[in-house]
Structures are given as structure tokens and as C-alpha cells.
Structure 1
Amino acid sequence: MGMVFGEVADTYDDVRPGYPEAIADAVRDYHGGAPERIVEIGAGTGLGTRVLLRLGAPVTCLEPDPRMAARLAANLPQVTVHTETFEQWQPPERGVPLIAAALSWHWLDPATRNQRAHDALTPGGTLAVFGHTYGYADPAQSRAIDTALRTIDPEVTSRPAGWFHLDIAASGLFADVRAHTVDRDLALPTDRYLDLVRTFGPFRQHAAAQQARALAAVRALVDGFGGAIVLRLRTTLVLARRPH
């Protein structure tokens, strides 16, 4: 599933919302300054990488989809890109002081992701996991959009905001687990919102005919809302430390 985004790499890079600068500030404060090195898991086209670069440290990005990796390398030539999964990557013997994952934690093997991250960190190193939860400013619009998207996936369920906070804390491997949230509204006209929907993983799992039906239904709804929809975007950052 993690390879489906490469088919829409350019659209993904254009329409997916980036991350608030406050993410970098919170990571720096928690870590106690700039780390010597950062490794980012599932970097995509670099939306999270841009925030990590604000820390002023060299960044190595793991991105298994070659199409996403190519766009990432073109966007941010100053980073090192490895076209491999977190599971394939071999961390340096002494570990990494900061490992980050921006909207990619759910793509990792739930049975091993916390242990792998713990083992890849230096003692005292920082794990920074962050991502968006997409909501809607208008509850009526939210219900209508949800109904339309369920025409192609009646069983789809959404992970609760900050679910990875519980996942990381419940592993028992990390100390000083903290969560920060940033809320903001983002208005999108119909076509741009449809482009965003085209980049969602559950949407991309379905056949082209099913996708077309769902997009037509969503277009009619958003046009009926006045040609725009307001997303309520919650960005959650979870920070954790490998004990010494």
C-alpha cells in the first residue's frame, strides 16, 4: 500500500498540506538543541522534511517508492535519500540521535515499529512522530463528505487524532512521552479538494470506476456548498526518548 502514492507524486506534493514551523521548535526544545543527525522514515516528497531541515542538522530520508523519492530529491537536493523501507534500513552501529516520521507511522509494521525505532536511536535519542488528522469546520459538510466517500469504501474507519501517542506510550520502550497539537483551518476550492482526495491511501486502493463515482459525488456536494470546503486540520506531534 505504501507504494500507491508514487502514481500521484506531483499532485501529492502540490496539494498535501505542509507542517507548522512550531513542530521544529517543539522538537528542538525537547531534544535540547539541534541533533547531530536526523533520519526520517517514509519521507514522501519532503513535506515533513522541510520542517526537519529547520533544525539545522543533516537529514537522511528513507522513501521506498522511487517516484516519491525522485520528487523528494528534486525538491530538496541537500538531503540524502535512500529508496528503502524502515525495515530494510540498517542503522549505524552507534545509532541516530533523532528519528522522525511524518504521517508514515501507520505504514510501519505495528508489531516491530516501536522496537526498531528504539533500537536505532542512540541512548537518550529522540523519536518525533507527527501527522495530520483531516476534519471539517462544518459538521453537516463532514457528514455529507463521509457519506459520499463511503460509496466506494463502506467499511473505511478513521484512526483517532494522536493514535500514535497511545501506540508509542503503550510500547513501554520510551521515556518522557509527550504530545503537542496545532489546529488550523484550510479552505480549498472544489478542484483542489478533489485533488487532495485523490492522494488519500484508502481512496487509491479502489478501482478507477469506483474512484470516478466517488469524485463525482464529492464534486456535486462541494459545488453545492458554494464551491469550497473548509478543512479543520489537527497536527499532532508525539515526542519520546530512548532511555539512557
Structure 2
Amino acid sequence: MTVPREQQRVFGEVAEAYDDVRPGYPAEILDLITAYAVRPPGSVVESGAGTGKGTALLRTLGTPLTCVEPDPAMAALLARRYDGDDLVTVAVSRFEDWTPPAGGVDLLASAQAWHWVDHTRRTRLAAEALAPGGVLAVFGHDFGFADDELRVAMDAVYHELAPEIADQPGRPVNTRHPGAFHPEELRGSPWFTDVEEQRVVTVVPYDTGRYLTLLSTFSPHRMLPEQQRSRLHGALADLIDERGGVVAQKLTTALWLARRLD
């Protein structure tokens, strides 16, 4: 009997590729977090650490960092990277099943992963993980295009070959996830205050091959039947090559910050 694949568990299938092509985070994100926190955190936990894209940023704080990652393959790669680093601990667990230390931590961060935490419980779980006055920092990239004409042409390919994952007018990409994060969860919460939103924009070029590898690390693409994904990626490759062989990926990195009430 074939066990159905879970969308949130497909990243381990391509852990090495994910680590290679997924973009990291600009230093400005950490600057914004530390400015908001006022004082340096004495302890940090990262939910959904993956292969360490957010971890690399958080590690520069120079404070004990616990990385909670449910996928064994992703966690194994992360553990190898920080093998021998006394400040980094990797816990193979869902955030929902992880037990925070007594008294909580000063900073709870999640990079491109908070939407995978149970949306009916995550705000309460975040509050339980934080010390009074502690900071929740949720951040992630919105992947867009610096070339609008290329975006329109690529949308047409998606609508033809994979309409189920194509962008729809007025529908943000992250709404494909049933647990998509909305700041209103924090603004209306009895446990958090001082909710802020910040954005940082960067542009990262990808040649055709690396761009297709990047697409192969996104769960909507991974959930497509293999033949359909192959046809889609082949058509996108032809389109990109016709237009110079480079996709200028416009990354809008959104950061949401909130403070645990005393």
C-alpha cells in the first residue's frame, strides 16, 4: 500500500538541492529583529529550521540556538553543518511536539516555515515558548520577478500546463497553504503586543538550470505528477532560454515581529 505524500514533508526529498539554491536572508532582517528586541536575546529557538537558511542569520547572534526541524533529511544536513558548534542544537521534531525550556526563550524565530505549524495552535504555542517580554520573529521570502514581461509569459505557461498551481488574480501565492500566516493572528492575540511588519527587497539572478532546480524545491511543484512537472519545467526552460537564460528573482522578505506580554 502506497503511503500518501504530505505536502509539508516533501522537502527532505530534495534536501541537498534546497540547501544549494534556496536564497538566504539579508542581514537587514537580523538588524530589524535586534533593534526591535532592544536587548540581545540570551536564548533562541528556530521553528522549521530546514537546512539552515534562517539559522545562518540567527547564529550570528552568538547565543544558544535550538533548531527544531521535523524532516529527518533536512535536520541531518543541518546537523552536519553545525557539527561541533556548541551553540547550535538540532531537535528533530514538529514545533507542536517540542517542549520549550522552563521559563521560555528570549527569541522565537521561523524562516519560511511558520505556515506549516498548526494554524489553530501556533500563536498559543509561540506564547508558551517565549519568556515574558520575549520576541516572536516570523519572516520569509515572497518570490516575484524583476521582469514583469517574463512573469506574464511564465504565468501563461502555468495556466496551460499546471493550472492547479498557477497564480490567480487577487490570490497571494501563500494562500496555497491552508495555514498561511496572517498578522491579524498576532494583533488579535491576548498574548502578544507591539506587532510590527517590515519588508526588505533584494534581487537574485538565477540561470535556467538553477531556476528549475529552485522550482523543484517548492512543495506545489513537488506535489505535481512527475510527467506533468517535467512538461512544465521543460516549457519554462524554453521560455527562459529564449529571453536570455536568466531569471531575475525579486525577493520581498517580509518580517513580522511581536512581543510576548508580561
Instruction: Report the TM-score range of the alignment, normalised by the length of the smaller protein.
Output: over 0.9
1:219 to 233, 237, 240: 237
Correspondence for 2:4:
none
* Residue type at the aligned position of 1:189: D
Q: Does 1:154 find its partner at 2:164?
A: yes
Task: Give 2:53's aligned residue.
Answer: 47
Partners of 2:158 and 2:165 within 8 A in 1: no
Please tell me whether residue 108 in structure 1 is matched to residue 114 in structure 2. Answer: no
**Paired position in structure 2 for 1:24:** 30
1:36 to 2:42 alignment: yes
Change (3 A) 1:15 1:224: same
Q: 2:93 aligns with which of 84, 87, 90?
A: 84
Q: Please give the alpha-carbon distance, in whole angstroms, between the structure 2 residues aligned to 1:153 and 1:112.
A: 32
Q: 1:126 aligns with which of 106, 130, 135?
A: 135
> Tell me, which stretches of 5 or more residues in structure 2 are unaligned?
1-6, 168-172
Relative distance call for 1:200 and 1:57 in structure 2 (3 A) is same
Describe the superposition over 1:41-99 as per-residue Cα deviations: whole angstroms up to 9, x where unpaired: 00000000010111121110011111000111112232100110001101122111111
- Partner SS state of residue 159, structure 1: helix
CA RMSD of aligned residues (A): 1.6
Identify the match of residue 5 of structure 1 among 3, 11, 20.
11
Tell me which amino acid in the other structure corresponds to 2:89.
T
- State the number of aligned residues: 243
Q: 1:222 to 1:172 in 2, by over 3 A?
A: farther
Aligned residue for 2:209, secondary structure, equals: helix
Q: 1:145 to 1:167 in 2, by over 3 A?
A: farther
- Give deviations 1:89-129, integer Å, cap 9, x for gaps: 01122111111000001111111111110121111010011
5+ residue gaps, structure 1: none
Which residue number corresponds to residue 64 of structure 1? Answer: 70
* Counterparts in 2 of 1:46 and 1:155: CA distance versus 1, 3 Å: closer
Cα pair 2:141 2:254 within 8 Å, conserved: yes
Judge conservation of contact 1:46–1:76 (CA < 8 Å) in 2. Answer: no
